[in-house]
Structure 1
Amino acid sequence: MSNDLRGRGAAFLDFWRERHLCTLTTVRLDGTPHVIAVGVTLDAQAGVARVITSRRSRKVRLLAGRGGLDAAGRVAVADAGSRVAAVPPTTSGAGEKPSVDGEMPGRPLWNSLADRGVEPVGGASVAASGRVGVPVAVCQVDGGRWSTLEGLAVVRDDPASVAEAERRYAERYRTPRVNPDRVVVEIEVTRVLGSV
């Protein structure tokens, strides 16, 4: 199946090139959405959206937790050629208060996605289509124009993936600051919603 989104038209492609702040939605253990402001880039030909972030960010921990961890404590990826961000599993801590976003620090961040039709296989989540990743959505709005990209996310930390994400981010937004802990959330787009 081709993920090429170029056929969606010039208005769609232009909208995803314009400089707009976006949101990334992941799901907490309790099933509530975790929505955070991010910069998103879209490779329309490959059907891949990218978000650069730090490996210790909440979004990376939620993705690691929702997709399961492999034996090395990493989110598994579709191809073995790319390494993914190591996220150490955590344990429950007594007397801890919820963080700003409502998560309990120290609690394990993994559970099954079976209720959403996604089963952990070898440390990754595999949808019925055979694709690997954790269900997420990115969205951007400008007045009455809006677009949401739903898809399956993996977290990568190999230098080539991070460099490509930084290059694309610099084209759409600005050159990102130096961050040795940078990783990239790669989202294979599976559905597009919106007015453009």
Structure 2
Amino acid sequence: MSPSKQGRRPQTSASIEAFLAAPQHVAALTTVRPDGTLHTAPVRFTWDAAAGLARVMTVASSRKARNLLASPGSRVALCQVHGFVWVTLEGAGAVVTDPARTAEGVRRYAERYRSAPPNPPGRVVIEIEVDRVLSLNA
């Protein structure tokens, strides 16, 4: 799928939507450390096509959250792969502590993965405003 124009929600096909909703999949989230090097971590996530948001539950003290807190709005990439099928969601990332938005992240996580996420102290949600979707065989 080709990149979308800045500021517009990306269009996704039904097969991409199905792939991003599969409960057994995880993805790799890549953020940029303050020194400019990349940090990649496996994560569970949810995709909200209507809002153009990917959400990752984590804690504020995690490396991925600290990277975004050090550079609010920096670009991130979230890539889910299974065999020779992959989808990458790219956009601006933000660490969100708002209770309502965190609860929405928890609700969507529980719906996708059929169980609630861990609830450690300092839980936050990383929201990615997706503006580019790349894929292969999805």
Whichever residue aligns with residue 160 of structure 1, its letter is: A
2:124 equivalent in structure 1: 183
Give the root-mean-square deviation of aligned CA atoms.
Answer: 1.3
Q: 2:39 aligns with which of 14, 20, 34?
A: 34
Whichever residue aligns with residue 63 of structure 2, its letter is: R
Q: Between the two proteins, what is the percent identity of the paired residues?
A: 50
1:136 equivalent in structure 2: 76
Partners of 2:66 and 2:22 in 1: CA distance: 29
1:169 equivalent in structure 2: 109
Say yes or no: does 1:59 pair with 2:67: no
The alignment's TM-score, normalised by the length of structure 2, stands at 0.88
**Which structure dedicates a bigger proportion of its chain to helix?**
2
Using the TM superposition, give the Cα deviation of residue 179 of structure 1 relative to its aligned residue in structure 2, in angstroms. Answer: 2.5
Using the TM superposition, give the Cα deviation of residue 2 of structure 1 relative to its aligned residue in structure 2, in angstroms. Answer: 4.0
**Which structure dedicates a bigger proportion of its chain to strand?**
2
2:18 equivalent in structure 1: 14
Partners of 1:63 and 1:164 in 2: CA distance: 20
Equivalence map 1:100-111=2 (5 Å): none
Whichever residue aligns with residue 74 of structure 2, its letter is: V
Q: Secondary structure at the match of 1:24?
A: strand
Using the TM superposition, give the Cα deviation of residue 64 of structure 1 relative to its aligned residue in structure 2, in angstroms. Answer: 1.0
Say yes or no: does 1:193 pair with 2:134: yes
Using the TM superposition, give the Cα deviation of residue 30 of structure 1 relative to its aligned residue in structure 2, in angstroms. Answer: 2.9
Checking the alignment, whether the CA contact within 8 Å between 2:8 and 2:131 is kept in structure 1 is no
What stretches of structure 2 of length at least 5 have no aligned partner?
Answer: 1-6
4+ runs deviating over 2 angstroms: 177-180
Whichever residue aligns with residue 17 of structure 2, its letter is: L
The alignment's TM-score, normalised by the length of structure 1, stands at 0.63
Q: Secondary structure at the match of 1:56?
A: coil
Q: Secondary structure at the match of 2:21?
A: coil
Equivalent pairs counted in the alignment come to 129
Q: Between Structure 1 and Structure 2, whose CA radius of gyration is higher?
A: 1
Which one has more relative contact order, counting CA pairs under 8 Å at least 6 apart? 2
Partners of 2:120 and 2:104 in 1: CA distance: 15
